[in-house]
Amino acid sequence: MPKPHKLIQAHPALADIVEQILDWDVPDEKVARAFRPRALPSTTPYLIAQYRVPIRSDRHFGSAGYRHRRYGHVMTALETGVVTVRPCGPLGVVIVRLKPEATARLVGCELQGFINEKIDLGDVFKASEVSLLEEMLMEAPDSATRFARMESFLLQNLRQSRADAVVCKAAQCLRRTPSLRVRGLAAQLDVCERHLSRCFRAMFGASPKQFARVARIEKILTMRQAGFAWADIAYACGFADQAHMINDFDAIVGQTPQQLFRTTVLDHDCQAFERTDQLPAPLLSRADAAAHGLEGMR
């Protein structure tokens, strides 16, 4: 299975904004077409820039699904369901995982427009700069050069942050300790619970409770990958019992953790990868996809 080159420690000016940068460099078409990386719900938005053949992907929630058109450079934030990437040829893609509380430093707006949507980078940044980035990535001889050019692009697009400092702090706390109650978090930050919830939703497109539920999914995956038993994971993540954890996982991912782990091998660098001998659930019509809240991910 292909592995990404990764840049964990970003430029000092990007340290509070970038979680990680990955470079999936798979020039062999046969290997790339057999590759089926899967993205799971995450609190971190993704900036995706491609330098070979544009990819396709599917988004599924349980038995419901929708096939995306082929796309190039996008920003997105996956809150529910599972996205399976389907390379159409040689694969070359740089993925920047952004810290949600600092994403406004780059996009200059709230995150709600990116949730379960793929927004073209030309609509987020200047189209001419995105075209230049693509050209520079295509010409780069190796991952180290691509990392440097992506960092240069990000540095050139940094903006003065106007984000609510209290809301950003709340997001940091929930990512670190997703079992926190909203009432206790508001008291800890010395703000009104209703005010915190309203401002949080305005910035992230989700309530603090929903954001924390996704953060718990991330923690469940990380702990299971580390070899913890399901019962221990449920306790550590603040669930009353294992059954509550399974139900919450199913409500966010669209399948239980046991079902997911039977068909995937988790990887810390890109959350999960589908076994190549597993086929996706049948795709639904546009009407059925809309009924399951999946139509936006086209």
Number of domains in the chain: 1
Domain assignment present for 296: no
CATH number assigned to the domain comprising residue 125: 2.60.120.10
For the segment 39-62, what is each residue's pLDDT rounded down to a tens digit? 999 999 999 999 999 999 999 998
Domain assignment present for 197: no
The per-residue pLDDT of the chain, averaged, comes to 87
pLDDT value, residue 264: 59
**What is the rounded CA–CA span in Å between residue 60 and residue 24?**
23
**What is the rounded CA–CA span in Å between residue 79 and residue 77?**
6
Domain assignment present for 289: no
**pLDDT classification of 297: cutoffs 50, 70, 90:** very low
Domain assignment present for 85: yes
Q: How far is CA 245 from CA 38, 255, 256, in A?
A: 21, 12, 9
Domain of 91, in residue numbers = 5-156
199, pLDDT greater than 90? yes
Domain assignment present for 33: yes
Q: How far is CA 120 from CA 26, 76, 123, 126, 286, in A?
A: 23, 9, 5, 11, 21
Domain assignment present for 60: yes
**What is the rounded CA–CA span in Å between residue 91 and residue 32?**
6
**What is the rounded CA–CA span in Å between residue 88 and residue 73?**
15
187, pLDDT greater than 90? yes
Domain assignment present for 120: yes
Domain assignment present for 152: yes
Radius of gyration of the chain (CA): 19
SS3 97: strand
